[in-house]
Structure 1
Amino acid sequence: MKAQVIKAESRGKADYGWLKANYSFSFANYYNPERTHFGVLRVLNDDVIAPSAGFDTHPHDNMEIITIPLSGRLKHKDSMGHTSFIENGEVQVMSAGKGIFHSEYNGSEEEELNLFQVWLFPNQKNVEPRYQQISLSTVEKHNAFYQVLSPDENDEGVWIHQDAWFSMAQVDAGWQSDYQVKKPGNGVYLIVIEGQVKVAGKTLDKRDAIAISDISDLKIEASSDSYFLVMDIPMNN
């Protein structure tokens, strides 16, 4: 097993006034040669966006883009014809494929928006762009892992063009379980949204993460009431 703890305060940071960003990997003006990606995981941005502010229309291609609002709601518009709000308790995915344009704004005039945006390299290039959005109420459980993303369009959660599985868990203090890696050779990137958990013997606090490869299962224990995201991803990008 290979494991690396990424403390929250060690992430790249940027404050643009309207946007306060935390970068787990090199992005925009933040560059760290030791943090360019983890397997197919290219981006994990923890963004706080001011009321009514956001990103003007911009392009993407050949990337799987997953957005998970943690508080507030996101206003989305894209070149595929989708206009929607994505709120806390929902997850959105776009397969950019051969090319899309979209804009993203805080959908509130009063409250900040906090979200995770995750980019994964796809396992197929130049696919037809696609969009999907679901409510996590259809899958969420308490004191258990619940799947929010997979490679199978008939499985729980959203689906993408990659052999990746995302699971979330909202658990009570004292909870413990073993996470089973979904595909041999995949690694796990776990980030704590709230609380404190111990993963493979390492203690992680709020927004700390751990990147682990060469494993088949992983012991996770909650030291307090906790909420976390587990990304189970191929290590070959």
Structure 2
Amino acid sequence: MLKRIDSNNMGKSNYGWLKGNFHFSFAEYFKPTNINFGVLRVLNDEVMKANSGFDTHPHNDMEIITYIVRGELTHGDSMGNIGSLERGQMQYMSAGTGVYHSEFNHSNEDLRILQIWIMPDKKGYKPNYGDYRFNWKDRTNNWLHMVSGTLKDVPINVHQDINVYTTYLERDKEIYFNVNKGRQVYLVQIEGNSEINNVHLNEQDALEIVEENIKIKANENSHLIVIEMNKTEALYI
């Protein structure tokens, strides 16, 4: 089963310094039929203006993943972590029992990020932070496995049965992804446009995939991310 999500129909935010598309209910955008997709609770596609950012604020009991699409993101938190990440790199924070953090764009160019929140398999984990500076070439015409909750040899580990992959597919190239029985995927067309099992996706569109293998063909250079997880619709946190 495939369901295309048109970016034009997503929730929108515009605070001047920050603009975004909300794939699921978040902040001022609330739609009771669009709270989550399985354990995926938040996916915000956001552009942060130069020399702006999120001041220090709290989180708890959520696995928070941030993928940098372009620009430079600077992170700081109450655990003493600080650092900057660029295009194609990723940070992970298990908020657990509680953590404070800030996220800033200190550069003179716009920053685009995907903010992804995953519901953990239980509450009360010890807070944790990590980041990884992936080699861009490792995803070119190939799946780069970035995050896993079950495979310890994957660079970023989370407290949930999910897997996150990305690819940068050059024009006219094809790639396959298997979605096994009892599994589902949320896919985002980050950049470019493609055909997926005859479904056309434009930049910022998304696709829900349930128990169906897919073939992706890039109509132009295409940057995509997939979040693969156990098939469930329950919102339990």
Normalised by the size of structure 1, how large is the TM-score?
A: 0.93
Q: How does 1:84-233 map to 2 (within 5 A)?
A: 84-108=83-107, 110-137=108-135, 140-152=138-150, 154-181=152-179, 184-215=181-212, 217-233=213-229
SS at match of 2:138: coil
Q: Which amino acid in the other structure matches residue 46 of structure 2?
A: D
1:76 equivalent in alignment to 2:75 = yes
SS at match of 1:136: coil
Displacement of 1:98 = 1.1
Q: Which amino acid in the other structure matches residue 167 of structure 1?
A: Y
Gapped regions of structure 2 (runs ≥ 5): none
SS at match of 1:9: helix
Q: Which amino acid in the other structure matches residue 187 of structure 1?
A: Q
Gapped regions of structure 1 (runs ≥ 5): none
Displacement of 1:142 = 1.8
Tell me the equivalent position of 1:38: 37
Displacement of 1:166 = 0.7
SS at match of 1:98: coil
Q: Which whole-Å CA distance do the structure 2 matches of 1:171 and 1:151 have between them?
A: 25
Q: Identity rate of aligned residues, in percent?
A: 38
Q: Which whole-Å CA distance do the structure 1 matches of 2:22 and 2:62 have between them?
A: 17
Q: Which amino acid in the other structure matches residue 75 of structure 1?
A: T
Given that 2:11 and 2:21 are in contact with CA atoms closer than 8 Å, whether structure 1 keeps it comes out as yes
Tell me the equivalent position of 1:25: 24
Deviation string 1:46-91 (CA, Å, 9 cap, x unpaired) is 1111112111111111111000111111111111111111222310
Displacement of 1:138 = 7.8
Q: Which whole-Å CA distance do the structure 1 matches of 2:176 and 2:136 have between them?
A: 23
Q: Which amino acid in the other structure matches residue 114 of structure 2?
A: F
Q: Which amino acid in the other structure matches residue 131 of structure 2?
A: Q
Deviation string 1:183-227 (CA, Å, 9 cap, x unpaired) is 642211111111111123211011111011233x22222222211
Displacement of 1:145 = 1.0
Two-structure CA RMSD over aligned residues (Å): 1.6
Q: Provide the aligned length of Structure 1 versus Structure 2.
A: 233
Q: Which whole-Å CA distance do the structure 2 matches of 1:135 and 1:5 have between them?
A: 31
Tell me the equivalent position of 1:64: 63
Q: Which whole-Å CA distance do the structure 1 matches of 2:128 and 2:138 have between them?
A: 24
Q: Which amino acid in the other structure matches residue 159 of structure 1?
A: N
Q: Which whole-Å CA distance do the structure 2 matches of 1:144 and 1:32 have between them?
A: 35
Q: Which amino acid in the other structure matches residue 164 of structure 2?
A: F
Displacement of 1:124 = 2.5
Q: Which amino acid in the other structure matches residue 199 of structure 2?
A: K
Q: Could you tell which deviates more after superposition, 137-146 or 48-57?
A: 137-146
SS at match of 2:123: coil
